[in-house]
Amino acid sequence: MGKTYERIDGRLREFIEAQPVFFVATAPLAGDGTVNLSPKGLRGALAVLDDRTVAYLDFAGGNAETIAHLRENGRVTLMWCAFAGPPTVVRVHGRGEPVFRDDPRWPELLRHFPDIDPGPHGLRAVIVVRAELIRDTCGYAVPLMRYDTDRDLHGRRFAREDDTSLSAYFAGKEHVATSIDGLPGLPLPLPPTPAR
């Protein structure tokens, strides 16, 4: 039924890159901590960097649970489901880290997302995940659904913000600077957006 892979290439890479939505799961080390599961979308906001590494753009809007958990322990699982075509579920279990705007790797990482203008979306980090276990399973119970298009609401909402107002927005939002469990989240204020 399921298969384990040594690398993300060929058919597996094509499958991952073709999906319009994926899911990210993280958890703190504390046994009573809050497990987080987030949907991610926006075509072009995920890139396979090499055969063991993927990255995605982390935008304004949600809490910073994923960032907080990655800063604490790095454990992460990404999951893609085939909502069209042959039934497949792919999971990448690994170690992730948030790369922030003031990191020297920032400009090079953004080059992997040529179809995304990060300005209108309040880009706050690039999440880089190094795979430790790559596997697929059948998706027999995953429903068939039709993808129409990405919503434009996120870009329209955050296009009104600049670095100063975005930092103020984050500072006023609960569970961005710290997680639900009190872990350090997004470092504030945000560094200025570097030129691309």
Question: Could you read off the pLDDT of 152-176 as tens digits, one per residue?
Answer: 888 888 888 888 898 889 889 999 9
* pLDDT attached to residue 195: 65
- Cα–Cα distances (Å) from 150 to 19, 42, 54, 58, 86, in that order, read 12, 6, 21, 16, 22
Extract the residue ranges of the chain whose pLDDT is less than 50.
none
Distance between CA atoms of residues 111 and 103, nearest Å: 14
* pLDDT attached to residue 176: 93
Which pTM was predicted?
0.95
- Cα–Cα distances (Å) from 109 to 47, 59, 65, in that order, read 10, 15, 22
| Paired tokens of 61 | 């809007």
Find where tokens 């920032």 sit: 106
* pLDDT attached to residue 193: 79
